[in-house]
Amino acid sequence: MPPLALAIIGIALVIGLIALATRGGDDPAASQTATDPQIPQVSEADIAAAAQQLGPRDQELVNIGRTGVSIDRAGGARKYVALTFDDGPGPDTPAVLAALKKAGVPATFFVLGGNVQANPDTLRQVVASGNEVGVHTWDHKDLTRLKPAEQKAEIERTAGEILAATGVASRLFRAPYGSVNPQVLKQAENAKLLSVLWDVDTVDWTRPSTDQIVQTAVSQARPGSIILLHDGGGDRAATVAAVPKIIKELRAKGYEFATVGDLVISDPPGSDDMTSESRDTQRY
């Protein structure tokens, strides 16, 4: 059998094991017992191996970035934007998903590993609804203030939790506070993740009104924009209410929507759309 076919079969088997191990409960480990041979144990090594496997689309995403650089936006050749949501999954995530589904819009969710562990069913809903998931670390620490081994653990532990919960290997990474340095970006590269920042910040974490969130998103958007919103980290009622209005107003201006991955693959960023700088001027 050709090597590529063997590799594909191996990936499918690993993902199949992960799906079996996570089916039917919020805490897979609690549901696995020595007396239940129908549910196989999935080792950390299995999860790590699956996370490192790159299909053609994954490889293209990883190749878009380069060492020491994050992307801020896509190239701007197409009138598409990406909505992104940070800090979930949490209590407001289902309402965000409902608004996106009603509008027929996909989005990208940068999740915290601790929240995934607490809310795996919600993350599965995110994926089942056709959305994309990215790594936002385990517990929202500023990675530039951590030692390399701690940075690595924050990223890889979260990537493993996402994979274990959904069977999907994330290929995107967003540092908390947008705070990056060469070492953080190297850790993302080692984990086969593309570092993604943004070029439109709605500042919804400061709890502005719904209309203020909408006005910021719509007035600052341009072709290829990556728009920062939050579905976790506190009460996001204003953000939930803003989502359908943002979509309606941007569509009235001729915009369409894509996940970050689809956006940057279809409209690759140029050098002006990437940065090595941190976005940690504000703390959120």
Active site (catalytic) residues: 86, 230
Which residues, at least 6 apart from 215, have a Cβ–Cβ distance to it below 8 Å?
Answer: none
Residues 75 and 270 sit within 8 Å (Cβ to Cβ): yes
Cα–Cα distance, 108 to 130 (Å, whole number): 10
Amino acid sitting at position 252: A
Amino acid sitting at position 35: T
Alpha helix positions (H), the chain: 3-22, 28-31, 44-52, 56-64, 93-103, 113-118, 120-128, 148-166, 182-190, 210-220, 237-252, 260-266
Q: What is the three-state SS of 144-182?
A: HHCCHHHHHHHHHHHHHHHHHHHCCCCCEECCHHHCCCH
